[in-house]
Structure 1
């Protein structure tokens, strides 16, 4: 494949408005809603609605901060670019590679999951086979053109949207008609009949935040499309401003319908509540339909993983924080070396998944969730630096984050609260102590690289003087 090595080459602006809009929806809706919501409901009861609303509001303001920063300079291809400007090269190095690790972990987990979902229909096929096929298809599509990535995400997100809307429409009809299930009569009153809105007390509500926050991991992905979006000044604000509506419709709407049909204490935490609702209507293939939806959701997450990690490595290479070869673009203006590098690492991770103890795999994904909180916090901190150091530029902004600087401090306090909550969970507590090791290792690597670069600069100057 022909490479473009000129420093003047930039990423293609091949993403259209509909791609970015659906990408924003896909980033806000994870497989957690389809599979993990049963466990969340079981833990917190109807109060889970408030956890989603609060977290959704926090994520909306994070996205407003991200949008304002990206649109302040259209040469920014990702948030690592403005981290470099406002927090320095060291912070950009650590943030970029941390985000890369976050999405590598997501890609590893979801590619493994995709193979398992395909086994639902073909139980005799070994799990690694479908996973490998899915990865090869996604890699080829990502290498061809960014427009094809946008098309894939458009259809993946559309499948999720149709599934959720079908649940809401069918479920609302069942509630209005007073449809009887094995758990009783469908009614909105089921939301408060069984122990009130906080049946497990404040503790159940607080502990639910760990799952709710992680359900929004990936919502910042739309920010990585800034350098490859047609008319970003119009498209990105529209995608970000629609986030609250999407959260209300897709998360809150779906959960209200589910808990109105099946009281919270009748929902099986180990099964998808979507399957329960569709099966109650008499749809025999309910489990198969939901399995197809979560398969596309897993493929979507892996697709986003390849895209986001490749763009992050490309941005790091432009700041000399990754190998020079990662800056190379194809004739379609796609960072091919960065894309193949990330896909290979994801593939290695899937192979390792067969020999790694389960505890190690859980630890890696737990660390990545802490790292997502770090990434979101860095975005908010960069926004504060931007407002303080560039007041004139900020005054001209047409897409300002509201309630600055109060909301910035509220967001950071919220994340501190979530980390404290995570410390009380046995599965994530270990990661809380291991995560600092990741940042220490990155810091040491950066110091070594910086020292080598300084030595090479001295050699160059000496040769020039001679």
Structure 2
């Protein structure tokens, strides 16, 4: 008999590390180099602002997920509060933006492997996808274990960087780039060396750096104790943001004047090299390689679960809702992996522009998804006061903070429209939403009632 329900095999340690892994990826290890070049030391403020906004999104998502036992992801929430068309658009958009993100990460895998082996970039990219696919097809616990160790490597690396940085600051250590000192934050053109314009233009890459934090919500259906594990993971996000992002960037910019960092390379590799650790470049290259593989692994997990829910709710082919004997949506995994593999082709066709285009599209789509969560939470407070009153995990400062964060997201989209580099992707992305609006399969009354009953159960 075909399996119909996802299996709850993700333990608390898996959920905690998935939450960490979701907020530490290619956007920080590689993309931060570009963001630093745009904003200088003020990049720490950008990360802090977006991080605070994302935390409020996650608190809203957490309250919504725990308000009703039938919710398996935020597509179910969108359907409940905004209607089936909104669920269709949000679900497919989330699948699309994770496809874009995973493409960027699989491109990065190929680049990092070339550090050791002179082989075509697409070869290690495809090998990585095949390995991850095989592991994800077995059980969801394999995904959890893989992400646990991937995230652990990233955490240890950042802890090592911060620890070494603090020691060097106390010692007054000197590198080839100069002294390790807090004065590096303002002695090379000030905190805002490129003015307000550079500061604002850095928001796109910083938004991309935070994509994946909502994986806590996607994994809700496969979490063994969601009432305990989800709030625990979400409440620790602010500390992680302060420590892993702002803390790591603070140390980076104290060791290296921002002018010494290259937009096309990882500032982490550069920093460890400057410190004088002989094997630093190779070690950190391995770390950023595992980071890219981790993000790609997360992309395969999330896209397959979104397709599973779309199929289950009759907003995609019913084949996507079928599970294998290990309670894993195998058909969804195969299709998502196949589409992600197009990233290797994209890197060959437009190698210079590929990363920037896919990260911008991904950031725009994630802003849509996060915005939908906030709008649903506003409607939840207005239309379901009994659920809100009974909530044990109430989102703070709502609904006012929801409107503030929505305004911030709107401002970021406006900035992307003004910036030449991000404008083409911003103008292209609305076509995706128009296409989904047109392609939405209007369900019959019988299908609607069946879908609603399934969600409630």
Instruction: Tell me which interval the TM-score lies in, with the shorter structure as reference length.
Output: over 0.9
1:280-331 alpha-carbon deviations (Å, 9 max, x no partner): 2321222211211111111111111111011001111121101111111122
Q: Distance in 2 between matches of 1:28 and 1:352?
A: 25
Counterpart-to-counterpart distance in 2, 1:430 and 1:71:
39
Matches for 1:358-373 after TM superposition, within 5 Å = 362-373=356-367
Match for residue 199 of structure 1? Answer: 193
Decide which of 16, 26, 30 is 1:31's aligned counterpart.
26
2:255, 2:357 → 1: CA distance?
Answer: 36
Distance 1:145 1:212, change over 3 A: same
2:253 is matched with which residue: 259, 283, 291?
259
The aligned residue for residue 433 of structure 2 is 439
Rate the CA distance shift 1:47–1:365 in 2: closer, same or farther, 3 A: closer
CA contact 1:275–1:287 (8 Å) conserved in 2: yes
Instruction: Return the offset for 1:356.
Output: 6.1
Q: Distance in 1 between matches of 2:224 and 2:145?
A: 14
TM-score, length of structure 2 as denominator length: 0.93
Specify the alignment match of 2:77 in structure 1: 82
1:127 correspondence with 2:125: no
* Aligned length, in residue pairs: 448
* Structure 1 counterpart of 2:442: 450
Per-residue deviation, 1:456: 10
Q: Does the residue aligned with 2:282 lie in a helix, a strand or coil?
A: helix
Question: How far has the Cα of 1:126 moved from its partner?
Answer: 2.5
**CA deviation vs aligned residue, 1:203-224 (integer Å, no higher than 9, x gap):** 2222221221121111111110
| Deviation per residue, 1:378-419 (Å, 9 max, x gap) | 011011111111100110001111001110000110001101
Tell me which residue corresponds to 1:385. 379
CA contact (8 A) 2:98 2:299 kept: yes
Q: How does 1:67-146 map to 2 (within 5 A)?
A: 67-123=62-118, 125-146=119-140
Compared CA separation, residues 66 and 455, structure 1 to 2 (3 A) = closer
Distance 2:90 2:180 in 1: 48
Matches within 5 A, 1:274-285: 274-285=268-279
SS at match of 2:326: coil
Stretch moving more, 360-369 or 216-225:
360-369
Tell me if structure 2 keeps the 8 A contact 1:48–1:208.
yes
8 Å Cα contact 1:74/1:227 also seen in 2: no
Q: Is the 8 A contact 1:190 1:263 kept in 2?
A: yes
TM-score normalised by length of structure 1: 0.92
Structure 1 residue 442: deviation in Å?
0.8
After TM superposition, list the pairs within 5 Å mapping 1:322-401 onto structure 2.
Answer: 322-351=316-345, 353-355=347-349, 362-401=356-395
1:17 Cα deviation from its structure 2 partner:
0.6
**Matched residues in 2 for 1:22 and 1:241: separation?**
13
Q: Aligned with 1:330: secondary structure?
A: coil
1-structure distance, mates of 2:99, 2:318: 21
> Does the CA contact (< 8 Å) of 2:33 and 2:263 recur in 1?
yes
Q: Which residue of 2 aligns with 1:272?
A: 266
Residues 37-48 of structure 1: matches in 2 within 5 Å? 37-48=32-43
What residue in structure 1 maps to residue 233 of structure 2? 239
Q: Distance in 2 between the 1:247 and 1:156 partners? A: 18
Tell me, in whole angstroms, the C-alpha distance in 1 between the residues paired with 2:218 and 2:25: 18
Measured in 2, the distance between the counterparts of 1:21 and 1:414 equals 27
- Which of 399, 405, 419 aligns to 1:411? It is 405
Q: State the match for 1:462 in structure 2.
A: none
Task: Name structure 1 gaps, 5 residues minimum.
Answer: 458-466
For the Cα contact (< 8 Å) 2:25–2:291, is it kept in 1?
A: yes
Q: Which range is displaced more, 278-287 or 415-424?
A: 278-287
CA contact 1:171–1:277 (8 Å) conserved in 2: no
* Structure 2 portions without partners, runs of 5+: 449-457
Per the alignment, in what secondary structure is the counterpart of residue 380 of structure 1?
helix
Assess if the C-alpha contact under 8 Å between 2:40 and 2:194 holds in 1.
yes
